Amino acid sequence: MECNRFSPFDSTFADMHTNQKKQIRIAVTGPESSGKTILAKELAVFFKGQYIPEFAREYVEKLPYHYSYQDVETIARNQVEQYLTTNVSSDQLFFFDTWLIITKVWFKWVFGKTPDWLEHQIRDYPIDLFLLCRPDLPWEADLVRENGGEKRILLFEEYRNELINYGFNFVEIGGTDDKRLTNAITAIRNFCMIP
């Protein structure tokens, strides 16, 4: 979808052939502790869109053991299910707290392989714009995070390379506090040609 032809914030935003409103999916992605969740929630509020929470965190927090390859597959399949629910929603703007790119890299880093079906899912369920959060916020450890220090920078570069290789639209988002939110709002407005 080309946002520069339509605006989701305008009542005239509709598919020219079906006259149905289009949906825009934005994924906030990046390494751990880079402000993804807060940013996705703030953007959903600002743009009056729908926030789609990170499935992986909730799932892993509930596990009584260290996650397995099969667990990460379950996470990926549930991410796709979350995506599919947006197809039947009346909302037009969705903010995903992470997406399958992170899951693909997770598979590669931890298990050295990815399931064959994942590649197709990434291509078959496109995101209109990725906001790639830079690891320029202080690291905050918790029970789920495992990639601090230099790994955050390496993962950031890996995510960026994946986005480039797929040819996906993305903007790097940096800055602290309100500046990060302002940068993200500006990126979305520029992408969708919103004044």
Q: How far apart are CA 112 and CA 102, in angstroms?
A: 14
| Amino acid identity at 75 | I
pLDDT for the residue 4: 36
Domain assignment of residue 5, yes or no: no
Domain assignment of residue 55, yes or no: yes
pLDDT for the residue 16: 40
* CATH code, 186: 3.40.50.300
Q: Give the residue numbers spanning the domain of 154.
A: 26-192
Q: Which stretches of the chain score pLDDT less than 70?
A: 1-21, 91, 142-143, 148, 195
pLDDT for the residue 30: 95
Token output for 109:
């880093």
Domain assignment of residue 133, yes or no: yes
Domain assignment of residue 1, yes or no: no
Number of domains in the chain: 1
Assess contact for 98 and 29: CB atoms under 8 A.
Answer: yes
Handedness of CA 76, 79, 85, 86 (dihedral sign): negative
pLDDT for the residue 72: 95
pLDDT for the residue 145: 74
Q: How many CB atoms lie within 10 A of CB 99?
A: 24
pLDDT for the residue 7: 41
Domain assignment of residue 18, yes or no: no
Domain assignment of residue 113, yes or no: yes
